[in-house]
């Protein structure tokens, strides 16, 4: 019996050359092979007689070769093999391109099973390049066949045979991390059944049973790994903070906070009062008021004698946070300062000295805060904005500036709670799911190209009224692959400048290929009101607050994801002016139109994220690698939310009873969880 770490080159039919080709697909070992799951399936169980065939359908037929195949040499590099087959009802013409081996594989008078798509006409049907085998073989016809991703040197036949042999070789040691109790409670198939039927299903019902088992298994391991990572972060004890009653903070605020904001603040204060270091994510929609939660945490920390750090993605974002924190905290006598990389050396040196001496209570800045010479007297609370853009390493670097620093992460990417608990597995989560009063929803429209003159007139009207507008394009410059009707930011900026309707308007461009300093300069000008129309790529998806910007125009909106469109829309509607989002439908098809319709119907980011999961289909909803998550082999968040919820519940139940999975019955699960944690850390 082979072991899971056995190299694939030792499997029957896989020599060194094929092993090298398989390695391009990430298949090095027997484990890699049996967990290389099919991308789809062909149902080859349906047989028809030849007089029942309809052009366009894909079926199996049983027929006798009426003649030996004939080979024709059409030109260099092109050979055609033709053969006529018959049954008791009719005949069928078969054509094979560049498959001269067929000449010796089909014999006149012998019976075969053929599978392929019917072409030709009702009276003269034909099949092009069908797969075939002797009638009594039953290896590749008369059953459901897996379809795998391929690479040069690897055909479906090669990989199907390799998987079949691999399953046979390691049948008794197939991956099986699930404890017996979990399999029984959730009525999950056994490991061997699951692996057999995910690759070679007896029926589509058996395939679904197998898939559920393997998806559950993968998500259980992931959920358990993330919870253990979170538990490890909680091991750090710290001194509880004894700050003032938070009601004193609320009393002086110039606005009313929502119930959701108060709940999030309560979570933060509770963490700060505890004797374990905080690791918390505050998740809320664009404009839901996450910053107030961070300010409240800083206020409480400072009243307890601790220092705070607030890190933003860019200098202009840091400046905006600085203005907000300064306005809300200085009335309490709390000193707030800004530190950016562009400051002069003497200025930075002076700020760092004051910070180290404890003369600064709250420091706001960019990555400059991570510099080795930035030292604190008593850092107790740190805030980072947009978690997925900073990541675990930056959080750890900031936390290292003090003794067990409390960390708060803010994210404007609303996602369903269960998914958030997986994605941000090392963090506790607070959700702000209501908007502050008085915030007017952004009116949203999806329009076709025929509306271009009216949209241009509307842009002019708003600019003439003193408002500003964003125009977002899907790419920076034209390419041959995407030039057909797809707007590029560079070219479109020039077109707008040459359009008479926009004569006299200040039109500028910003995109991801520009240097950071150039982007900062343009955004500062736009925020200051010195630019009327800003043409951009998605570089402004996470950007500064420009209350005067009242219009977002998105070109080729069908090329953007639903959550991304929502983030872009969130750039407007931040001031007192009525705001609009106009999306040009580039003709992306049914699912793209459904995305735009969803966006027109709601401003609720949580509802949008749930719909995005449903519409996205197979694939990685989040680009999980940027979150430090391992790539999933079979589960996908878009399709498996119900299984995700069940797997998370099972994981919690297991770890509540056995926090480190030390019990013998959890040993296999512990091994797989340990491996996934290593993948999360190193991946």
The SS3 of residue 582 is strand
What values do phi and psi take at 344, rounded to 5?
A: -65, 155
Q: Which residue has the tokens 């055909």?
A: 155
**Residues 592 and 620: beta-carbon distance below 8 Å:** no
pLDDT, tens digit, 9 for 90 and up, residues 207-239 = 999 999 999 999 999 889 888 876 665 556 788
Number of helices (H), then strands (E), in the chain: 22, 22
Query: What pLDDT, on the 0 to 100 scale, is given for residue 283?
Result: 87
Q: What are the Cα distances from residue 176, in Å, to 47, 362, 633, 655, 667? A: 37, 51, 15, 18, 11
Query: What pLDDT, on the 0 to 100 scale, is given for residue 628?
Result: 47
Query: What pLDDT, on the 0 to 100 scale, is given for residue 588?
Result: 60
Give the span between the Cα atoms of 289 and 548, in whole angstroms. Answer: 19
Query: What pLDDT, on the 0 to 100 scale, is given for residue 478?
Result: 54
The SS3 of residue 45 is coil
Give the span between the Cα atoms of 289 and 267, in whole angstroms. Answer: 15
Please give the domain boundaries of the chain with CATH numbers for all domains: 1-42+150-174 (1.10.150), 46-142 (2.40.50.140), 443-602 (3.40.50.300)
Tokens of 48: 């028809």
Tokens of 586: 């580039």
CB atoms inside a 10 Å sphere around CB 123: 6
β-bridge mates for residue 613, sequence order: none
Residue count of the chain, please give it.
683
- Angle between helix axes 156-169 and 16-23 (nearest 10 degrees) is 100
Give the span between the Cα atoms of 373 and 547, in whole angstroms. Answer: 36
Give 528: exposed, middle or buried? Use CB within 10 Å, 0-12, 13-18, 19+: exposed
The SS3 of residue 81 is strand
Give the span between the Cα atoms of 176 and 671, in whole angstroms. Answer: 11
Tokens of 525: 């000008």
- Nearest CA to 385 out of 460, 315, 489 is that of 315
Q: Which helix H or strand E contains 382, and what residues bound it?
A: strand 379-385
Give the span between the Cα atoms of 56 and 633, in whole angstroms. Answer: 33
Query: What pLDDT, on the 0 to 100 scale, is given for residue 107?
Result: 95
Give the span between the Cα atoms of 551 and 560, in whole angstroms. Answer: 18
Q: Which regions of the chain are under pLDDT 70?
A: 1, 230-236, 386-393, 416-418, 421-426, 438, 477-486, 541-543, 587-591, 613-631, 637-639, 679-683
- HSE toward the beta carbon, residue 524, CA cutoff 13 A: 11
- Angle between helix axes 562-569 and 590-601 (nearest 10 degrees) is 40
β-bridge mates for residue 84, sequence order: 93
Roughly how many angstroms between the first and final C-alpha of the chain, as a whole number? Answer: 31
Order across the sheet with 468-472: list the strands. 443-447, 580-584, 549-554, 468-472, 533-536, 507-510
């Amino acid at each position: 019996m082979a072991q899971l770490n056995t190299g694939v080159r030792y499997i029957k039919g896989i020599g060194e050359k094929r092993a090298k080709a398989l390695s391009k697909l990430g298949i090095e070992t027997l484990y890699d092979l049996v967990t290389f799951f099919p991308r789809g399936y062909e149902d080859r169980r349906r047989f028809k007689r030849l007089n029942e065939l309809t052009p366009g359908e894909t079926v199996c037929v049983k027929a006798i070769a009426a003649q030996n195949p004939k080979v024709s040499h059409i030109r260099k590099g092109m050979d055609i093999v033709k053969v006529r087959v018959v049954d008791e009802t009719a005949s069928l013409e078969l054509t094979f391109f560049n498959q001269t081996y067929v000449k010796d594989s089909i014999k006149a008078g012998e019976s075969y099973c053929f599978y392929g798509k019917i072409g030709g006409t009702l009276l003269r049907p034909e099949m092009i390049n069908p797969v075939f085998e002797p009638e009594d073989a039953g290896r590749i016809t008369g059953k459901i066949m897996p379809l795998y991703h391929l690479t040069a040197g690897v055909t479906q036949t090669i990989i199907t045979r390799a998987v079949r042999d691999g399953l046979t070789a390691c049948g008794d040691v197939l991956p099986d991390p699930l404890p017996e109790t979990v399999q029984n409670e959730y009525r999950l198939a056994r490991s061997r059944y699951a692996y057999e039927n995910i690759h070679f299903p007896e029926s589509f019902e058996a395939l679904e049973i197998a898939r559920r088992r393997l998806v559950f298994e993968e998500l259980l391991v992931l959920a358990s790994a993330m919870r253990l990572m979170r538990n490890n972060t909680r091991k750090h004890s710290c001194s509880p903070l004894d700050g003032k009653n938070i009601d004193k903070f609320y009393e002086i605020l110039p606005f009313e906070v929502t119930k959701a904001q108060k709940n999030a603040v309560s979570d933060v204060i509770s963490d700060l009062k505890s004797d374990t270091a905080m690791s918390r994510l505050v998740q809320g929609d664009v404009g839901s008021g996450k910053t107030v939660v961070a300010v409240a945490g800083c206020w409480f920390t400072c009243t307890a004698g601790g220092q705070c750090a607030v890190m933003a993605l860019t200098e202009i974002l840091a400046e905006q946070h600085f203005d907000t924190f300064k306005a809300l905290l200085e009335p309490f006598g709390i000193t707030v300062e800004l530190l950016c990389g562009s400051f002069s050396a003497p200025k930075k040196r002076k700020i760092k000295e004051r910070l180290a001496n404890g003369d600064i209570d709250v420091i706001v800045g960019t990555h400059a805060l991570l510099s080795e010479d930035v030292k604190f007297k008593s850092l107790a609370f740190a805030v980072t904005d947009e978690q997925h853009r900073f990541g675990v390493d930056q959080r750890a670097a900031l936390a290292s500036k003090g003794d067990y620093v409390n960390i708060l992460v803010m994210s404007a990417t609303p996602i369903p709670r269960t998914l958030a608990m997986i994605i941000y597995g090392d963090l506790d989560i607070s959700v702000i799911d209501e908007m502050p009063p008085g915030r007017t929803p952004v009116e949203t429209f999806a329009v076709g190209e025929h509306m271009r003159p009216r949209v241009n007139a509307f842009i002019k009207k708003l600019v003439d009224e003193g408002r500003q507008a964003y125009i977002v394009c899907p790419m920076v410059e034209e390419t041959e692959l995407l030039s057909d009707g797809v707007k590029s930011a560079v070219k479109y900026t020039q077109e707008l400048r040459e359009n008479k309707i926009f004569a006299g308007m200040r039109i500028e461009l910003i995109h991801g290929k520009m240097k950071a300093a150039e982007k900062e300069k343009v955004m500062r000008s736009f925020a200051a009101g010195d630019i009327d129309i800003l043409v951009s790529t998605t570089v402004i998806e996470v950007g500064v607050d420009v209350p005067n910007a009242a219009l977002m125009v998105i070109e080729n909106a069908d090329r953007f994801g639903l959550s991304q469109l929502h983030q872009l829309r969130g750039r407007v509607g931040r001031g007192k002016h009525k705001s609009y989002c106009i999306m040009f439908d580039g003709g992306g098809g049914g699912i793209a139109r459904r995305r735009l319709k969803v966006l027109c119907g709601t401003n609720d980011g949580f509802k949008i994220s749930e719909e995005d999961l449903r519409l996205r289909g197979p694939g990685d909803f989040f680009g999980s690698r940027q979150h430090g998550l391992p790539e999933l082999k079979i589960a996908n968040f878009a399709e498996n939310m119900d299984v995700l919820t069940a797997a998370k519940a099972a994981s919690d139940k297991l770890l509540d009873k056995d926090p480190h999975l030390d019990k013998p019955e959890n040993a296999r699960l512990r091994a797989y969880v340990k491996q996934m944690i290593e993948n999360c850390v190193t991946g």
